[in-house]
């Protein structure tokens, strides 16, 4: 795989360093772990879902850790195995794992559920009110600053 140079984009953007670092890391051809398999789904404009196939894992063997911009899903199988049963074929993976998902800003884990061998993690994007777009008045006063000045002139 060919390395892509993001330098021209880095010069004309501000605050996207983390995104470019992730893209560059992805183009390096680092080996990727594909266990357990998962689906990523956009449920609505600001809602997402991760579904992991974790057949054979119980809820107490799974651990979800949400940090800033990172979700870590880990599964640790207990070492105890039923000695009375003799396995003739072991086709269901029965090993511990750790899956990492990089999350964009303002994405948080809403809830998680384990059903029928699928771990379903619902995510929601919540942009704080202070970060939402707002009108800026030309001339140095904002719309909220202009109201008290008008009242003062009237008095």
Q: Are residues 27 and 97 in the same domain?
A: no
Q: Are residues 128 and 150 in the same domain?
A: yes
28: tokens are 């390096």
Q: Are residues 93 and 18 in the same domain?
A: no
Q: Are residues 23 and 42 in the same domain?
A: no
Report pLDDT for 151.
53
Range of the domain at 2: 1-32
Q: Are residues 73 and 112 in the same domain?
A: yes
When divided into structural domains, the chain yields a total of 2
Report pLDDT for 73.
96
Q: Are residues 122 and 145 in the same domain?
A: yes
In the block, tokens 């651990």 appear at 63
Sequential pLDDT tens for the chain (155 residues): 566 777 777 777 777 777 777 777 765 655 567 889 999 999 999 999 999 999 989 999 999 999 988 999 999 987 665 555 787 887 877 789 999 998 988 899 999 999 999 999 999 998 888 877 888 889 866 555 545 555 555 55
Report pLDDT for 127.
84
Report pLDDT for 141.
61
pTM of the predicted structure, to 2 decimals: 0.66
Residue 139 zone, left/alpha/beta (φ > 0; ψ -120 to 50; rest): left
Q: Are residues 21 and 47 in the same domain?
A: no
Q: Are residues 6 and 42 in the same domain?
A: no
Q: Are residues 20 and 45 in the same domain?
A: no
Task: Please give the full DSSP string across 9-58, using - where no structure is assigned.
Answer: HHHH-SS-HHHHHHHHHHHTT------S-EEEEEEETTEEEEEEE-TT--
């Amino acid at each position: 795989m060919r390395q892509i140079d993001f330098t021209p984009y880095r010069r004309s953007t501000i605050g996207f360093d983390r995104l470019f670092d992730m893209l560059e890391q992805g183009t390096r051809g680092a080996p990727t772990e594909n266990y357990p398999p998962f689906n990523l789904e956009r449920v609505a404009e600001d809602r997402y879902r991760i579904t992991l196939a974790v057949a054979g894992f119980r809820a107490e063997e799974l651990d979800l850790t949400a940090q800033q911009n990172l979700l870590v899903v880990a599964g640790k199988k207990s070492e105890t195995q039923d000695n009375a049963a003799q396995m003739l074929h072991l086709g269901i993976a029965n090993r511990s794992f750790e899956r990492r998902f990089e999350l964009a800003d303002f994405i948080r884990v809403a809830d998680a559920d384990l059903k029928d061998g699928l771990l379903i993690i619902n995510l929601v994007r919540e942009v704080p009110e202070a970060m939402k777009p707002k009108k800026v008045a030309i001339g140095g006063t904002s719309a909220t600053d202009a109201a008290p000045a008008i009242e003062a002139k009237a008095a």
